[in-house]
């Protein structure tokens, strides 16, 4: 998966591994619950065992459906929670970066993007901070050049006035 350096390369892998772990945990819990719920005394003879099995078949099927449905809901809930957590680690910082970009476009070059440690777009935030630093440096150099130009203009104006005064005398 191409991430363009904005999201760490291991981010999708971590999400995939966690989803697989949630599914595996669901499978293990389902198996354990099925094992526990299917513990039935069949009887002492083969005939008793067949009778017990035929009677308990419906109960086992009902229990299996309930167990599968319940664990599936928990697994699905876990996957949804993981999806929400991981999407907030991307969407929240992107919202903050967009707000910062709007402030920069409005002329505020004092902003600095700070993200939480778990957020996924740190490289983009670092690039935004470098952009602001570059703007500040260019603005400082332009201000210095403008000040130098104003000083030279004032000296030239003063020299011109002094030259005119000498011409009038």
Is residue 96 in some structural domain? yes
Is residue 121 in some structural domain? yes
Evaluate if residue 8 carries a pLDDT over 90.
no
pLDDT for the residue numbered 1: 46
Is residue 64 in some structural domain? yes
The predicted-structure confidence for 106-126, as pLDDT tens digits, reads as follows 988 888 888 888 777 888 888
The predicted-structure confidence for 70-100, as pLDDT tens digits, reads as follows 999 999 999 999 888 888 888 888 888 888 8
pLDDT for the residue numbered 2: 47
**pLDDT (average), residues 35-41:** 81
pLDDT for the residue numbered 145: 94
Is residue 58 in some structural domain? yes
Is residue 1 in some structural domain? no
Lowest mean per-residue pLDDT among 5-9, 17-21, 106-110? 5-9
Is residue 5 in some structural domain? no
User: What DSSP string describes the chain?
Assistant: ---TTTS-THHHHHHHHHHHHHHHHHHHHHHHHHHHHT-----SSHHHHHHHHHHHHHHHHHHHHHHHHHHHHHHHHHHHHHHHHHHHHHHHHHHHHHHHHHHHHTT-TT------TT-S-HHHHHHHHHHHHHHHHHHHHHHHHHHHHHHHHHHHHHHHHHHHHHHH-
Give me the domain span that covers residue 125: 10-168
Is residue 20 in some structural domain? yes
- Categorize the per-residue pLDDT at 6 as very low, low, confident or very high, splitting at 50, 70 and 90: low
The mean pLDDT of the chain is: 85
Is residue 55 in some structural domain? yes
Q: pLDDT > 90: what percent of the chain?
A: 24
pLDDT for the residue numbered 4: 54
pLDDT for the residue numbered 138: 93
**pLDDT (average), residues 26-51:** 85
Domain total of the chain: 1
């Amino acid at each position: 998966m191409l991430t363009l350096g904005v999201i760490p390369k291991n981010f999708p892998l971590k999400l995939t591994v966690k989803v697989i772990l949630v599914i595996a945990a669901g499978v293990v819990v389902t198996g354990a619950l099925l094992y526990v719920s299917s513990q039935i005394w069949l009887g002492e003879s083969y005939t008793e065992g067949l009778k017990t099995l035929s009677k308990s078949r419906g109960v086992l099927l009902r229990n299996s459906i309930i167990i599968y449905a319940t664990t599936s809901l928990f697994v699905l809930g876990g996957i949804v929670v993981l999806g929400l957590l991981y999407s907030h680690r991307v969407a929240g910082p992107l919202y903050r970066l967009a707000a910062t970009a709007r402030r920069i476009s409005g002329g505020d070059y004092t902003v600095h993007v700070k993200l939480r440690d778990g957020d996924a777009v740190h490289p983009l935030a670092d690039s935004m901070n470098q952009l602001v630093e570059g703007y500040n440096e260019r603005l400082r150099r332009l201000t210095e050049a403008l000040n130098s130009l104003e000083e030279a203009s004032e000296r030239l104006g003063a020299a011109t006035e002094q030259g005119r005064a000498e011409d009038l005398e």
